Amino acid sequence: MVFIPSPTVERHVTEAGLKRPDLSRHLSREARARLPNPIKSIWKVAQVKPGTINMGNGDPHHTLYPISEMNFVVPSIDDADPVQAWRTGTGGQQVISSFKDEPCALSLRTAFAYGAGAGLQHVRDALADLNNRIHSPPNHSVSLSLGNADALTKCFRLLGDPGDSFLCEEFTFSAMTNAALPLGIDWVPIRMDEGGLMPADMERILSSWDEATQGKRPHVLYTIPCSQNPTGSTLSLERREQIYQIAREWDIVILEDDPYFFLQYDLDVNSATVAQHGFTRAMADALPRSFLSMDYDGRVMRLDSFSKILAPGMRLGWVTSNHFFAEKLDMLTDSSSQHPHGLGQAFVAELLGKDGWGADGFMKWVSSLCSEYERRRNLFMDVFRREVAKTGFASAEVPQSGMFVWIKINLEHHVRYRRIENSSGGPCTNTAELMDELFRKLLDCGLVMMPASTFAIADRTGRSTEGHIADRVNYFRATFVGTDETICNGLSIFGRTIEDWYCF
């Protein structure tokens, strides 16, 4: 997936390479004031010259580590469909090992010692290689994180000052947007439709911004482009290109939070490409185009995670950004959470190494995982049509990726739905009240779905061009990644309950 610049892009490319804008203005006052951790700076210098005697660090000596070997039992990637074989117990197993005193991809001597904030070079190189195969980003660095939540909160600190305004989707993952509020960052919601973030509304917000009355114009966009959480929408290539060009025009940094990127459905994976070049190449051709892949300006900070494709408790992910932002991010990590845990880094090193799955085996697992989740998505939608949609009280679009279905409740059919005149700028319907009532009724019947109000982002007035956001919270977020039994029983309860509620 090599990015071929358009004629507009080519004007910004010189013979010496990519001519990038100065992005230093985006740094927060905290990031500008932060100094490198002096001990870590010396530690990095000590790594450059082999054989240097290091009497400066405070590491316990590796001979005193109470562990010499770790064995990980993982699915054999030789099975045609490794996820199904692993899930049903019919497939083979593979043991990958990490050692302290024997050869392996990443020695436990290194993994369990103190390190730098960016993570161990061996793991970073393996993930940079995966990035290059999938996204082909020019001139970017990889830093490890403790998952996307850790990475995002650090990015907010890196880029945001009190009084700043950041852009985001009008419904988004509030656990993350809430993390920016104590930093004094305000959120400016962008309207969405079934295709996700609307570029025209992003352009409208930026072009009509009045710094005299609204403060500094937003300079950061936080977006979840694939299986947007909670709506499940995935941005088309056309929209991504439009958003990136708007970001260039208004000098916006894009925080591309993409934990669901690898979980894509209805993919056209070319079997001939698999046979000739392997799963990595074939999947790269079929996966959506990322913002990172078109980032010739260095304005994208991309966040990836193993949470959705291996295990969430690993708390391990990676951030890809330009070298300048990466250095500032690493400085923040060196003086806060410190480097990610060695156990997770050792596991990833062995998994992606020559004695583990390797990059191609990893992508084969991802491809197989997509097939299983696609099956569960299809089951969910089949049961939903049978148990819920037939009532006419709710509807849902089929998600292209991720884990969620965004269920619309057709409240206009409810006998107690009301529209009211409201000149004060507040809600003009009783949507929020009815949805809260339905949520509690479902809970009483033994079913939890996440109400849209949990994810709603209001601007300072609570209004947008289409009215108050509380009038648009007539949705539930439901997941389809549970067991078949959970899907069938949950939607059966949902169908019965909503029909009873409408008839009440």
Count of CA atoms in the C-beta half-sphere (13 A) of 37 = 21
Residue 213 placed within a domain: yes
CATH number (domain holding residue 374): 3.90.1150.10
Quick one: 326 and 391 in the same domain? no
Yes or no: say if 294 and 242 are a contact pair by the CB < 8 Å rule. Answer: no
C-alpha 332/C-alpha 31 separation (Å) is 8
- pLDDT score for 6: 36
- Residue 33: its pLDDT value, please? 79
- Residue 414's beta-bridge partner residues? none
> Is the CA virtual torsion 7, 9, 10, 12 positive or negative?
positive
Q: Residues in the chain with pLDDT < 50? A: 1-16, 461-465
65 falls within a domain: no
Q: Are 219 and 252 in contact (CB under 8 A)?
A: yes
Residues 125 and 174 in one domain: yes
Taking CA atoms, 56 is separated from 107, 132, 326, in Å, by 21, 36, 26
Identify how many contiguous H helices and E strands the chain contains and give both numbers. 18, 19
Mark which of 314, 340, 360 sits at the end of a domain.
360
349 and 318 share a domain?
yes
134 close to 284: Cβ distance less than 8 angstroms: yes
Last residue of a domain, one of 360, 388, 417: 360
Q: What token pair was written down for 198?
A: 């609307």
Amino acid at the residue 218: P
Is 356 in the same domain as 373? no
Output DSSP code: residue 301: E
Rounded to 5°, the CA angle 405-410-415 comes to: 145
Claim to verify: residue 287 and residue 162 sit in the same structural domain: yes
CATH number of the domain enclosing 187: 3.40.640.10
Cα atoms found within 13 Å of the Cα of residue 437, Cβ hemisphere only: 15
In a domain, 90, yes or no: no
Helix axes 358-387, 484-503, angle to 10 degrees: 30
Query: pLDDT at position 38, please?
Result: 59
| Total count of domains within the chain | 2
- Give domain status of residue 439, yes or no: yes
Q: Can you give the C-alpha Rg of the chain in angstroms?
A: 24
Token match 């949902």: residue?
494
The pLDDT of residue 34: 75
Same-domain pairing of 393 and 355:
no
Domain presence at residue 18: no
C-beta of residue 320 within 8 angstroms of C-beta of residue 140: yes
Task: Report the pLDDT value the prediction gives residue 9, as an integer from 0 to 100.
Answer: 36
- Do the Cβ atoms of 473 and 435 come closer than 8 Å? yes
Q: Are residues 386 and 321 in the same domain?
A: no
Q: What is the 3-state secondary structure (H, E, C) of 180-227?
A: HHHHCCEEEEECEECCEECHHHHHHHHHCCCHHHHCCCCCEEEECCCC
Residue whose entry in the numeric block shows the structure tokens 């295990």: 311
Cβ neighbors of 100 (< 8 A, separation 6 or more) are 62, 65, 67, 68, 69, 107, 108, 109, 112
CA geometry: angle at 178 spanning 255 and 216, to 5°? 60
Q: Is residue 393 part of a domain?
A: yes
> How many other C-beta atoms can be found within 10 angstroms of the C-beta atom of residue 484?
12
Phi, psi of 170 (to 5 degrees): -65, -25
Same domain, 316 and 410: no
- Give the three-state DSSP class for 151: helix
Please name every residue paired with 257 in a beta bridge, in sequence order, or none if there are none: 303
**Under 8 Å CB-to-CB from 213, ≥6 apart: which residues?**
none
- Rounding to the nearest 10 degrees, give the CA dihedral for residues 162, 166, 169, 174: -30
Whether 124 and 204 map to the same domain: the answer is: yes
The strand pairing partners of 97, in sequence order, are 71
Torsion of CA 160, 161, 163, 164, to 10 degrees: -30
Return the structure tokens found at 249: 């025009």
Q: Are the C-beta atoms of residues 352 and 359 closer than 8 Å to each other?
A: yes
Q: Which of 437, 442, 416, 424 is nearest to 497 (CA)?
A: 442
Task: Please check whether residue 274 lies inside any domain of the structure.
Answer: yes
Q: Are residues 237 and 348 in the same domain?
A: yes
The answer to whether residue 21 is domain-embedded is: no
Q: What are the start-end ranges of the H helices in 73-173?
A: 82-88, 108-111, 121-134, 148-159
Asked whether residue 247 falls in the same domain as residue 373, the answer is no
For 30, phi then psi, to 5°, come to -60, -45
Four-residue CA torsion sign, 173, 179, 184, 185: negative
The parent domain of residue 180 ranges over: 33-41+103-360
Instruction: Please give the helix or strand (H or E) that residue 342 lies within, else none.
Output: helix 342-351
Question: Residue 248: in which H helix or E strand, if any?
Answer: helix 237-250
**Do 354 and 376 fall into the same domain?**
no
Residues 6+ apart with CB under 8 A from 5: 13, 296
Prediction pTM value: 0.90
Nearest-angstrom CA–CA distance, 408 and 416: 17
Q: Last residue of a domain, which of 360, 395, 410?
A: 360
The set of residues, in sequence order, having a beta carbon less than 8 Å from that of 342 and lying 6+ positions away, is: 108, 110, 111, 112, 113, 115, 120
